[in-house]
Amino acid sequence: MDFLQITGSSLITRILFIIALLFVSCDFLITVFTIFYQRFLYDHYLRKRFRMPFTPRCAIIVPCKGIPKDLVNNLQGFLNLDYPDYLVVYAVESEQDKAVGVIKRIMAGNKRARLAVAGLSTACVQKNHNLLAGLKKAENAEVYVFADADIRPEPSWLRELVLPLADPGITATSGFRWLHARKGTLGELAHSYVNIVIYVLFSAACFIGGVGLWGGSMAIRRKDFEELGVAEKWSHAGVDDMCLSHLVLKARRKAVVVPPCVTQTDDLLQTVRGTINWFERQIMYLKAYQRKIWFFIGFPVVISGMFLIVLLPFAAVVALSSDKSFLAAGGGAATLFYIGELITIALYPFLGSTYSRGKFIFYWPFLRLTHGVSYCLTALTNTITWAGIKYQLAFNGDVARIERPGDAEQGN
């Protein structure tokens, strides 16, 4: 059997084969690059270029809401960092938030800790409002650090996150979150898988384009924060990290991913529906701040991937129910796509611990389809739901309207 037979006999099947080849090649290469960057390039080359020691005064702003898994240990972790000069500001929406009691117990007797009560946001997402309130207690910090309450940082986390800022050519730094599915439920695997895909794309895009930030772990000099007008933009924006990334990119500045600051957690969403909703929100930010990428790159890739997934069983059915061969029905392209993607998944343990390589491989077609569902849903709305609050976004990513639970009843 020659190459042309594998691609099928028609122009359509050959085009599909080329699409599949491009898809799996890109996916495989950026995964291999991320492994190389994380395990060798950053530590053995990039990190050595930064001036050490570099320990400017830092303020860590940690927005909190409710009591997520391991909250006490996570918040305590920010006070046990191996760093000489920093403070931690825990920022909440109101004194009635359930997290406040935990925060006050942790703060007792600790001079590094502060509490900021933001009040209800009226023009931006609540997280941004909390962050801005926290910055008011930053007390002459030279570097602003932003982190989520659902991670527990290692003692070296702050030192590593801030270190690249010793290079004046780097404006911002970012860590990431690695989700380790311990139970291996379908919901956990869906959340873990989409997080890995985002991390791989995020790492490659940041290295190539010089920009990419994750709000759960990022740092920027106070001077750059003010020059870029971040506070003003955040006060109207629908998200923190994508908004800051957009400002950094627009100003032609550079950001860097810091692999030692990729924090591990087993706090995963437990349902597939929850993951679909979560990923839909992430894509909505892409739609708001990088609309051309969302439409001209994202949609063709997603639709192609979904089509190639369903093409394999379709080609098999056609071959069994007619005189048309499996390859003539596009089976060659579909088989290439499956094999290439499964080989890529087999590389994921080199990035971090995973529940079960075999289970990922078995459920992969379904897990990948959920990405397409999330992406397609973003074409139908300009509203995101975050922590129970609905935010309608304007064309530029600003918040146009906020609807909180109970608002409808109060208006009647």
Does the pLDDT of residue 265 top 60, yes or no?
yes
Which residues, other chains included, contact 30 with Cβ-Cβ below 8 Å and sequence gap of 6+? 200, 201, 203, 204
Identify the band that residue 1 occupies on the pLDDT scale cut at 50, 70 and 90. Answer: low
Once rounded to an integer, what is the mean pLDDT over residues 84-96?
97
Does the pLDDT of residue 10 top 90, yes or no?
no
Which residues, other chains included, contact 395 with Cβ-Cβ below 8 Å and sequence gap of 6+? none
| CA atoms of 118 and 131, how far apart (whole Å) | 8
| Ramachandran angles phi, psi of 320, nearest 5° | -80, -25
Contact 229/238 with Cβ under 8 angstroms? no
| CA atoms of 372 and 386, how far apart (whole Å) | 20
Does the pLDDT of residue 2 top 60, yes or no?
no
Q: What is the pTM of this model?
A: 0.94
pLDDT in tens, 269-286: 999 999 999 999 999 999
Predicted pLDDT at 181? 84
Contact 5/13 with Cβ under 8 angstroms? no
Query: Which of the residue ranges 112-121, 140-149, 351-360 would you say has the lowest mean pLDDT?
Result: 351-360
| CA atoms of 181 and 179, how far apart (whole Å) | 6
CATH 3.90.550.10 maps onto the chain at 50-273
Give me the chain's average pLDDT, please: 93
Which long-range contacts (C-beta less than 8 Å, at least 24 apart) are formed by 80-83?
80/155, 81/153, 81/155, 81/156, 81/157, 81/158, 81/159, 82/155, 82/156, 82/158, 82/159, 83/55, 83/58, 83/158, 83/159, 83/162
Which residues, other chains included, contact 265 with Cβ-Cβ below 8 Å and sequence gap of 6+? 70, 150, 151, 152, 177, 178, 179, 180
Does the pLDDT of residue 222 top 50, yes or no?
yes
Tell me how far apart the 2 most distant CA atoms of the chain are, in Å.
79
Once rounded to an integer, what is the mean pLDDT over residues 400-410?
77
Higher-scoring residue by pLDDT: 8, 267: 267
Predicted pLDDT at 412? 37
| Ramachandran angles phi, psi of 237, nearest 5° | -85, 165
Once rounded to an integer, what is the mean pLDDT over residues 7-14?
83
At 244, the amino acid letter reads: L
Does the pLDDT of residue 370 top 90, yes or no?
yes
Q: CA-CA distances (angstroms) from residue 49 to 41, 42, 169?
A: 12, 10, 12
Once rounded to an integer, what is the mean pLDDT over residues 31-54?
94
Does the pLDDT of residue 92 top 60, yes or no?
yes
Q: Name residue 384's beta-bridge partners.
A: 391
CATH, range 50-273: 3.90.550.10
pLDDT above 90 covers a percentage of the chain that reads 84
What is the dihedral angle through the alpha carbons of 286, 290, 295, 300, rounded to the nearest 10 degrees?
-70
Identify the band that residue 4 occupies on the pLDDT scale cut at 50, 70 and 90. Answer: low
Once rounded to an integer, what is the mean pLDDT over residues 150-157?
95
Q: Which two tokens stand for residue 12?
A: 């359509």
Tell me if the bond preceding 53 is cis, omega within 30° of 0. Answer: yes
Q: Which two tokens stand for residue 255?
A: 């950001």
Does the pLDDT of residue 14 top 80, yes or no?
yes
Predicted pLDDT at 356? 74
Predicted pLDDT at 3? 64
Predicted pLDDT at 411? 47
Which of these, 210, 200, 196, 176, lies nearest to 46 by C-alpha position? 210
Angle at alpha carbon of residue 274, lines to 94 and 286, rounded to 5°: 80
Alpha carbons within 13 A on the beta-carbon side of 270 = 3
